[in-house]
Structure 1
Amino acid sequence: MSQSNRIFDDLGRLMNEAAGVADGVRREVETVVKAQAQRIVNDMELVKREDFDALRELVQVQGEEIDALRKEIAALRGDKPAT
């Protein structure tokens, strides 16, 4: 009976060690994949979302300013306002 318990104890310990090793391998693979993905993204020279949003807002404001200046120029020239 004690021999049987010892076998099961050894088997349980072996399975726990295997699970620990598998978890370590999983973490290592995740680290490598994340590093590779980050390298690919950096190589693509993608713009950050914050930079894109800031530039979009700036372009929108400038577009509104251009429209206002066009209307002002048209008024000074006496042109009919464009619709």
Structure 2
Amino acid sequence: MSTGPNRILDEFAKLVTDAAGAAQGVRREVETAFKSQAERVLNSMDLVQREEFEALREMTLKVRAENERLASRVAELEAKLANSSDDAPDTVARRSAKTSSKK
């Protein structure tokens, strides 16, 4: 067994080691308590999780692209309809002439 100053230093080192271990345990407990409290607060705020946000963002981008594609298709069809409307009076006149000549 150690005697004198060496024994005091050994006891002091053991005490410091035990205190450091206890401090780590306290730190873990505080972190756990803080995380659970923060999680409770965030859940009560009704926030969206990152994964849900990203999924919704992707869906929105796809819908926006589809909407733009459909808008250009509608514009195309309207232009065709306008062109066929310009030709329509001639077509109507020809059809009515055919119909009246058959009577």
Structure-2-length-normalised TM-score: 0.64
Determine the structure 1 residue equivalent to 2:63.
62
Indicate yes or no: 2:49 matched with 1:10: no
Greater fraction of residues in helix: 2
- RMSD over equivalenced CA pairs, Å: 1.9
Flag as ranges the 4+ runs of structure 1 deviating above 3 A: none
Aligned residues: 79
Decide which structure has the larger Cα Rg and report it. 2
The code of the aligned residue for 1:47 comes to: V
Answer 1 or 2: higher relative contact order, Cα 8 Å, separation at least 6: 1
Structure 1 match to 2:49: 48
CA distance in 1, matches of 2:6, 2:72: 92
For residues 3-46 of structure 1, give each alpha carbon's deviation from its aligned partner in whole angstroms, at most 9, with x where no partner exists. Answer: 22222222222122111111111111111111111112212222
Secondary structure of the corresponding residue to residue 62 of structure 1: helix
Larger deviation: 20-29 or 7-16? 7-16
Structure 1, gaps ≥5 residues long: none
Q: Which amino acid aligns with 1:3?
A: G
Aligned residue number for residue 76 of structure 2? 75
Q: Percent identity?
A: 46
CA distance in 2, matches of 1:49, 1:25: 31
TM-score (norm 1): 0.76
